[in-house]
Each structure stands twice: as C-alpha cells, then as structure tokens.
Amino acid sequence: MSLRTFVRSRKLTGALAVTSVAALSVAGVVASGATANAAPGCRVTYSITNQWQGGFGANVTVTNLGDAISGGWTLEWDFAAGQTIQSGWNGVFSQSGSRVTVRNPSWSPSLGTGASVTPGFNGSWTGSNPVPTQFRLNGTVCTGDVAPTSTSTSTTTPTTTTTGNPNPGTRVDNPYVGAGVYVNPQWSARAAAEPGGSRIANQPTGVWMDRISAIDGNGSPTTGTMGLANHLDEAVKQLSANPNGQLVFQVVIYNLPGRDCAALASNGELGPNDLPRYKTEYIDKIAGILARPAYSRLRIVAVIEIDSLPNLVTNVSPRATATPNCDTMKANQNYQNGVAYAVSKLGDIANVYNYLDSGHHGWIGWSDPVPEYDNFQASARMMASVIGREGATKDDVHGFITNTANFSVLEEPFWKVDDVVGGRPVKEASKWVDWNDHNGELSFATAFRDELIKNGFNSNIGMLIDTSRNGWGGSARPTAKSTSTDPTTYVNESRIDRRIQKGNWCNQSGAGLGERPKAAPRPNIDAYVWIKPPGESDGSSTQIPNDEGKGFDRMCDPTYTGNPRNGNNLSGALANAPLSGHWFSAQFQELMRNAYPAL
C-alpha cells in the first residue's frame, strides 16, 4: 500500500444540484521550478463537481510522475471566460485577472513520486464555464488532451469524470480519487421502478455477500440474484465505458461465524464454531473470484464484517448490554480470527483495498478511564488484535468505515457536546448525549482514525463514512439552535438526528438519504459511500419464516419498548418491513422524501 501523501479536499459548499462534469487529462513535461525540485512528468485532472446558475465547484488533482518535490509546489492555470475563485481548500488560492495560483498548504509542502494533491474550490461564472486548457506545476507546462462534457445548467444527477492512476490494478493512496464507482444494475432497476427513484438510480451502492449462496447467485445477470462474478463482469463493462479508465467495485464481506451476536435480524447461516466453513467455503471462494486476471484493473474495496469486533467490547459480560451469543464469540475468538483471515486472504490481492467496519459514534463514541464505560479506546485495541492472526498484517488494512447501514449524522450544525446550557454541560445533562464525546460521524471518524494509528495501524489509513441514510431532512429537521435553557430540551430541539435514541438501528422512521457518494470530501476521509443500498430493509417488523438464517429482532418492531442497548426506549422502526436485505418500498420513498441535501 502506498503512503497516504494525498491531501484530501474539504466538502464542497454551494448549490446542491450537480449539472455538469468536465475533465482534463494532462500528461506532459514538468521541469524544475523556483519553488522546488521536480523531474519531468505529471498529470492533472480538472473536474467540475457542482454547477448551478452563476456558480460551480471543482477539484483539481495533480499527480507527480517525476522525482519527489520536497520544497513546496505551485499550480497555475488561466480561466478563459472570466470565472473567479470564491473560496478554496487543500491549497492557498490567489487570483490576478484570469490567472489562478494555488500554493501548497503549510501542512503539505512535499509531493512524492506518484503522489497526488487535490485542491478544491468554489467559483463563479457568467455566460459559460469552459475548462482551462493549460496547467503549470512549478512554472512548467503540462500539456494533454481536453475531454470536457456539456456545461449546461440542467439538474441531472452528477457523475464524476477524472483520470486514473498510471498503473491500473495496483493500489493507490485513495481508490476513490480519479475513479467511477460501480452501479449495481439490479438495485438501480428497483430504484428506477419507484416513483421518483430515477433521481438516484445511478448512484453507486455496495454489493453484499451475506451468505455463501450469494457468491454464486443463480447465475443470471438479469433475473433473480446476480452472483459475485456476474457483478464483476458488469463492473468490467462499466470500466470499459468509463472515460477515466478507473472503477471502484464495493463488496461487503459479511458472513462471520455467529454473525451479529447482539442482534437477530441479520444473524447469519454459520454457527459460532463454523470458522473452517467461513474460511474454505466463503472467504477462499470470494478471494479466488476477486483474484481473477479479468478483474485486475478494477479497484476492489472490501468492507469487512459489519458490526462484528465492536460487539466484543460493548455487548459482553460484565456489561449490562451483554448477550450470551457475544460472550460465546469473545470466548472462542472466531470474530477476530475470521476477520483476520479475511483481511489476510483479500489483502494478498494487489487491487483489493480492505476497510474494516468500526461501528459509529453513537455506539463507540464513549471514551472513559473506567473500562466498563470505555468503548472508544477499547474498540481500537480490539481492531488491532486481528493483526498477527491468520497471517494478517497492518499493511493488509487500507482503512476503516463508520456508520455502515446506520443513521448517525455527519455533524450537528446547531450544537456541540461541549455546550453549556442553563449552567449545565449538555454532555452530562442530556440523555441523548449521555457523556458521549461526539455528536457526528466526521468528528468520530477523525478521532477514531488517530486512535487506531496509536494502536499500531499505518499512519496512512483512510476512512469511509456510509451516508446512505443519515440526511435527516424533511419538515422535522431543525433550522436553528434551540433557545431553551434546559439541556435536554436544548439538545432535542437542536439536533437534526431525529431518532428516539442513538441505539436505534432498524428501519428508522423519519430518516432520509444523506450526502451523495463522493471522493475525498474531507481530510483523511477517503469517501462518502452508500454501502447500505437505500430501500433494502434492516429486518422484518414481524417474524417471517425464511431459509436465509435471519431471525426476528424486536428492535425492528415499532411497538417494542427497548432494551439496555437502546436505553429501554421505543425502537423507532417502520412498520410492515420485510426481511433484511429485501426491498422495502415505503422506506425507499421516505428516504427520498427526507433526503438532505434534498433531491
């Protein structure tokens, strides 16, 4: 795995509708400039990611293909139609007339061989918004072919067109940068068949391998269930049609022995001691397919075992939230051994990027010197415990993912956990916060990444955040901070996460689509992703006999009054839900209706 020298861009601000995409691929000559040393070779990608009437957002990725630059870099271009920079990030922007100059930020003066940086900006335009035709790195021109698409101001669903890495099939710093992402044709068809669903039907989602039979499917790419090879064959077709020559394929590895020991809705087919079957019938088979030469040019992101390792911290004895199943899995260590085997086996494939699941802030956000109350540091140690087992190394882990298939918001705009209201800190006075150190996934993912590095993971790991259902828009979304002097009322009136309690996880009423998938939205965040396909149920609201190994969990029953894991609150689940993974039209419609940013 290459060093994470890539500097990630901040989240774009501005209009919500992306209306055009333009990309410029440049492969030319770069000579030494006044600010640093550089041997010939670079590539530049200019991508318009947001465009609206009079304004736009863009990312400019420059990759150094020559000798390492150690003393600072400067990127320059000229706008041809009077465009102006309004704000920028991941670089120090200035503009004189048509000339734009971007100098390295203070924290990133170097640009190693093969490394990339992506300054991003919001700008304004009138009349037209053509792509710049020439870029200069440290004073010397990089030239190439321009391949822009239309820059109209319609409100069509965005796609991102950027150039790929020079060596397809090898790992890059951030697999999402410069790449398209696989659109599951079967999920896309279900979404498009819903009223209004065509607005998001072309968004990329994860492909879930949630049982052994899912690997083969039924052999048909058009009916029933597509198998892993069917999906990968389709991904190769999408790769061939992708103008940037790179495509990410997202697959969820989800079939541990004794899976989901603290929940019943997504229990699996393998018993607590079925580690040998997990290895030979599941992981080995998946690895054999992923390693086929036909798929070597894909960037394969493997999301490893949702909700597994954190269960061994929070839901085991002597805690009040303990379950017998989690105690069993902690004792036999088959979660750690299974995850380690998956990481090791898949990590041996050059174009696979392993991201381990690490819960979410409403589960793991508590840090405390008392072990019984510490979830944060203990979970990082649990993650690190897989290293050295089953041949797994830290280099086999490219990063981690938070909020998979969950509802936790990215950030709360109107309040902080450190606020003091009525003379009392909300951190201790609000039941919603309940001493949690975080109130959103961005702060949690950033802090947890630091903790994981402290526990031995590489300093270049990146984070993914699943934003498929954490938008919380609609009429119930607050628009300002509460004026109440009561801490509980203040938080409840200010928070955009409208769940009854953070421990509620099943088909939540009032939820909405969150941020659309995008690469490098914030520093150290590799991507916002939709790993959980919107519209697929978390579990049935009543017991439904099935042959998929899925039990009935009362947390999916809207009449259930809760348990210690959700503070004995109502579940907040939608009624009439089907089995987990099955299509749930009512939920899909609600997610679109409450989307934020709005559709």
Residue numbers annotated as active site: 307, 538
Give the residue from 456, 470, 454, 331 showing the smallest Cα distance to 409: 470
- Measured CA angle at 518 (ends 188, 109), to 5 deg: 160
Exposure string for 117-153, b = 16+ CB within 10 A, e = fewer: bbbbbbbebeeebebbebbbbbeeebebeeebeebee
Burial zone of 250 (CB within 10 Å; 0-12 exposed, 13-18 middle, 19+ buried)? buried
Give the residue from 118, 102, 115 showing the smallest Cα distance to 12: 118
Residues 6 or more apart whose CB falls under 8 angstroms from that of 528 comprise: 464, 465, 466, 467, 514, 515, 516, 517, 518, 521
Report the sign of the C-alpha dihedral through residues 518, 572, 400, 491, in that order: positive
Dist CA 50 CA 21 (whole Å) = 8
Contact predicate 467/403, CB 8 Å:
yes
Tell me the CA end-to-end span of the chain in Å, nearest whole number: 37
**581: region left, alpha or beta (phi > 0 left; psi from -120 to 50 alpha):** left
Task: Identify the DSSP state of 283.
Answer: I
Give the residue from 72, 45, 84, 40 showing the smallest Cα distance to 61: 45
